[in-house]
Amino acid sequence: MKTIETTNQFILNTYKRYPVVFEKGTGCYLFDENGKKYLDMSSGIAVSLLGHSHPEVVKAIKKQSNKLLHTSNLYYSTPAPKLAKKLVEKSVFSKAFFCNSGAEANEAALKIAKKYGKIHGGEKKFKILSFKNSFHGRTIATITATGQTKYQESFTPLLPGVEYAEYNNIESVKKLISDDVCAVIIEPLQGEGGVHPAQGDFIKQLRELCDKHNALLIFDEIQTGVGRTGTLFAYEQFLPTKPDIVTLAKGIAAGLPMGVTLVNEKLSEVLQPGDHASTFGGNLLTSSVALAVLNCIDNDKILENVQKSGSYLIKKLNELKLKYSSIKDIRGQGLLIGIEIDFPAPELVNALIDKKIITVPAGTSVVRFLPPLIIKKKEIDILIDALDEIFKKRI
């Protein structure tokens, strides 16, 4: 039985899949079951940040898999504390919690916030503020925090006490925040919601409001962290303003499932044994690979390449915008860039697939470019030439 038929018969229909079956990859390219080559401008939705079959990632997988994959978090093991130490030393945070996904990392952050609120404000301090058009995951708690009703309406009733402000609108936050709020959760750059960067002054004022009401500021960097915006953490774009918690996932282990919740010093002892856990969180294999990823970012000048390639991609996209009225806007940071168009996003995604280029939509009229962080000018030029041909035909 063929792969697509088998998938449709035996796997729950939770994804609207494109009719392509990928079998292998190398660098910025994927190869389907017929050997056809595709330029990967989505990297598995910001996951394969070092590209495919990166030698250091493969080496780390082989080395650790030959030794030990899993024991239990009831015991100590070597890679996880090394990874936590490295993340702490490279950030403003004090301790880490490891899990398997972005939704789980956000779930841990929300639980920390709720317990912190109860400790410092009693039973009433449990409310959470999020933002319209945000995306924080698909568990009940994280779809509640997600400010998009299309993800929520089939799963009501949701978690109580969550309200939604307008992104980049501090006045809307002021109307909702109070001493009953235990946390504000925000993406420093909304990805799924249409690629909208947060404004620096807005983040600064948000931090001040959180301090005033003793609420935690949580940065959801599931999509923007681990170098995607040109710094290792997206919060670095807003320094000296700092969040209390940052969550990571996607690219941290280059394709293996891992989520991370990093907390500052004042939160380092909030969770105690029995409060939270993750059976597979921080296992030996994923932790080893994450360490390899961070080492590659340091040793291979990945952040420099993100800044250089991201600037080049935005420049070339803006040149296309001057040529074609169908392009309404170009937004983003580093190598998380959105192109807003005046026709449905899936049409452009499909047109690019026809040209053997993989991208991903962000809402109804925005297409995201999330290439591996190793991408160079020659691959970007392939994308730009394809877009030029596609938009030329629409005139």
Q: What's the pLDDT tens digit per position in 94-116?
A: 999 999 999 999 999 999 999 99
Six-digit token string for 331: 């937004």
For the segment 195-220, what is each residue's pLDDT rounded down to a tens digit? 999 999 999 999 999 999 999 999 99
Average pLDDT over the chain, rounded to an integer: 96
Neighbours of 156 (CB within 10 A): 9
pLDDT at residue 1 greater than cutoff 90: no
Beta partners for residue 24, in sequence order = 31
52 phi and psi, to 5 degrees?
Answer: -105, 140
Residues 48-70 have a mean pLDDT of 96
- Residue that wins the pLDDT comparison between 15 and 372: 372
Percent residues over pLDDT 70 in the chain:
100
Dist. CA 301–CA 288, nearest whole Å: 20
Dist. CA 157–CA 10, nearest whole Å: 30
Dist. CA 104–CA 184, nearest whole Å: 17
Dist. CA 359–CA 368, nearest whole Å: 6
pLDDT at residue 395 greater than cutoff 80: no
For the segment 338-351, what is each residue's pLDDT rounded down to a tens digit? 999 999 999 999 99
Peptide bond into 19 cis (omega under 30): no
Instruction: Compute and round to an integer the Cα radius of gyration of the chain.
Output: 21
Q: Model's pTM, two decimal places?
A: 0.95
For the segment 267-276, what is each residue's pLDDT rounded down to a tens digit? 999 999 999 9
pLDDT at residue 393 greater than cutoff 90: no
Structural domains in the chain, sorted by start: 3-53+301-394 (3.90.1150.10), 57-299 (3.40.640.10)
Measured in Å, how far apart are the chain's first and last C-alpha atoms? 43
Residues in the chain: 395
Strand ranges across the sheet with 37-40: 22-26, 29-32, 37-40, 357-358
pLDDT at residue 173 greater than cutoff 70: yes
**Dihedral angle sign, alpha carbons of residues 380, 383, 386, 387:** negative
Q: CB–CB of 339/327 below 8 Å? A: yes
